[in-house]
């Protein structure tokens, strides 16, 4: 149990760390990408506003909004421009680019002019080019194309570096979390062990005074005969004895380690366990239906599986409406589960019930904790523990005046 809890803690903590690192890497690279695009657009805007070339250094620095702009800085930019009118190429300027021939420039200029995009990027032989088209007088358009390979390469380098560092950081945190996970859950483990020992010890300690009270009650009945008071005392003794036995059983169930599972015929077990209640249910004037597909095999422990079905059918019988219906249905599950057990009963008063608390120990839908329904409020909690023991799932739902417990194994 605690091993699974530790793995779950490690898994959740690792997912949180992964989410934080992923968010940081994503935000960092997104911010850098938009910053790069903004810088490229500024350069293209400066070139477009100056007919396809850079103005003097001071004007360029002012329009770019950057300090330290010099002739060397400006000369690092590789670009070309073209003037187009009605998809006809009027002129080109390739003085500031050497990776493209005049023919290639003309082809790209015509291709871009025929598209509807005024701004974008394209790749050629490992280089990335960004372009901008602006409208001029006499139905002319100025096309400016900038070699933005270095800017995008810087982005790619940042992505690789951030992914590498993020991966290394994630692995480091996973190792740290794994090392210290035992310490993190230790208070919970200690509290759980204290609670379990208290329940077990208290249950055993209470057995002796209960036995004495039962013996004294029987002696009074022998001396003075049975009365309303002695019968009531006997009923409460029996009730407390059953409660203590249930608590001890659940404590033993929760403290046992890994159980060796075998192939169990779920159909045979469910039919045998449910059939034991047929006479009791029909005797109370209720209807009992049994619908079980044959030969459904699951990995479980047969005795505990029988107890699981018994607990759920017993609970359905206790809370079924008068002249209502108790139904047991077993079907083959999906790919993740081999068996799907549904145990339901009519329950007209269940519309405003909080079903999320049904598996809590000692929980009763009636908060007054009266004794109109037999039981101790631990049956469903034990059922949940058994299902967890089988690595299955259990859920409860309410629809059309019927409450249904579904177990998948």
Mean pLDDT of the 357-368 span: 59
Pair 97, 191 in one domain: no
Sign of CA dihedral 170, 4, 309, 268: positive
Q: Which residue has the higher pLDDT, 42 or 252?
A: 42
Q: Which domain CATH number covers 375?
A: 3.30.565.10
Give yes or no for residue 325 having a pLDDT over 50: yes
171: in domain = no
CATH number, domain with residue 36: 3.30.450
Instruction: State the Cα–Cα distance between residues 380 and 396, nearest whole angstrom.
Output: 11
pLDDT computed for residue 368 by the predictor: 39
According to DSSP, the residues that pair with 143 across neighbouring strands are 82, 133
Domain count of the chain?
3
pTM, 2 dp: 0.52
pLDDT in tens, 100-138: 888 888 888 888 888 878 888 888 888 899 999 988 887
44 and 81 in a single domain? The answer is yes
Confidence of residue 200 (pLDDT cuts 50, 70, 90): low
CA dist., res. 154 & res. 22, Å (int): 20
- Full residue range of the structural domain in which residue 135 is found: 2-155
Shared domain for 6 and 151, answered yes or no, is: yes
**Same domain (yes/no): 305, 215:** no
The three-point CA angle 102-41-60 to 5° equals 85
| Same-domain check for residues 342 and 231 | no
The pLDDT, as a whole number, for residue 2 is 67
Within 225-265, where are the H helices?
Answer: 228-255
Residue 335 structure tokens:
């790919």
What is the C-alpha to C-alpha distance for residues 317 and 322, in angstroms, rounded to an integer? 10
Domain match, 341 and 394 both: yes
Picking from 344, 251, 331, 254, the residue whose alpha carbon sits closest to that of residue 296 is: 331
Average pLDDT of the segment spanning 31-60: 88
State the average pLDDT over residues 208-224. Answer: 84
Q: Are residues 228 and 269 in the same domain?
A: no
SS3 161: helix
Q: Which of 223, 255, 287 is the last residue of a domain?
A: 255
């Amino acid at each position: 149990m605690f091993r699974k809890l530790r793995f779950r803690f490690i898994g959740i903590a690792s997912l949180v760390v992964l989410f934080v690192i992923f968010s940081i890497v994503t935000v960092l690279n997104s911010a850098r990408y938009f910053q790069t695009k903004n810088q490229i657009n500024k350069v293209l805007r400066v070139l477009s506003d100056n007919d396809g070339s850079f103005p003097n250094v001071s004007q360029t620095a002012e329009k770019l909004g950057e300090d330290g702009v010099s002739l060397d800085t400006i000369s690092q930019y590789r670009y070309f421009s073209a003037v187009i009118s009605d998809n006809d190429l009027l002129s080109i300027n390739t003085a500031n680019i050497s990776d493209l021939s005049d023919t290639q420039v003309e082809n790209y200029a015509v291709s871009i002019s025929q598209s509807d995009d005024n701004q974008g990027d394209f790749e050629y032989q490992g280089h990335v080019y960004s372009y901008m088209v602006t409208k001029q007088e006499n139905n002319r358009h100025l096309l400016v194309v900038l070699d933005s390979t270095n800017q995008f390469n810087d982005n790619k380098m940042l992505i690789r570096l951030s992914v590498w560092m993020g991966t290394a950081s994630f692995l480091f945190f996973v190792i740290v979390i794994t090392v210290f996970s035992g310490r993190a859950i230790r208070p919970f483990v200690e509290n759980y062990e204290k609670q379990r020992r208290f329940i077990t010890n208290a249950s055993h300690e209470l057995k002796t005074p209960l036995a004495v009270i039962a013996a004294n009650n029987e002696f009074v009945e022998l001396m003075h005969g049975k009365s309303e008071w002695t019968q009531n005392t006997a009923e409460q003794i029996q009730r407390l004895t059953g409660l203590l036995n249930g608590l001890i059983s659940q404590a033993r169930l929760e403290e046992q380690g890994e159980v060796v599972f075998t192939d169990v015929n779920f159909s045979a077990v469910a039919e045998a366990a449910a059939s034991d209640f047929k006479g009791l249910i029909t005797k109370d004037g209720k209807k009992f239906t049994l619908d079980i597909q044959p030969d459904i095999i699951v990995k479980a422990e047969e005795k505990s599986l029988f107890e699981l079905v018994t607990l759920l059918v017993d609970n359905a019988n206790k809370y079924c409406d008068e002249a209502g219906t108790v139904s047991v249905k077993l079907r083959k599950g999906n790919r993740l589960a081999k068996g799907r057990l549904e145990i339901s009963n009519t329950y007209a008063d269940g519309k405003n019930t909080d079903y999320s608390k049904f598996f809590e120990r000692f929980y009763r839908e009636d908060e007054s904790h009266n004794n109109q329904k037999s039981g101790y409020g631990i049956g469903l909690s034990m059922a949940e523990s058994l299902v967890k023991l089988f690595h299955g799932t259990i859920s409860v739902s309410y629809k059309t005046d019927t409450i249904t417990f579904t177990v998948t194994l």
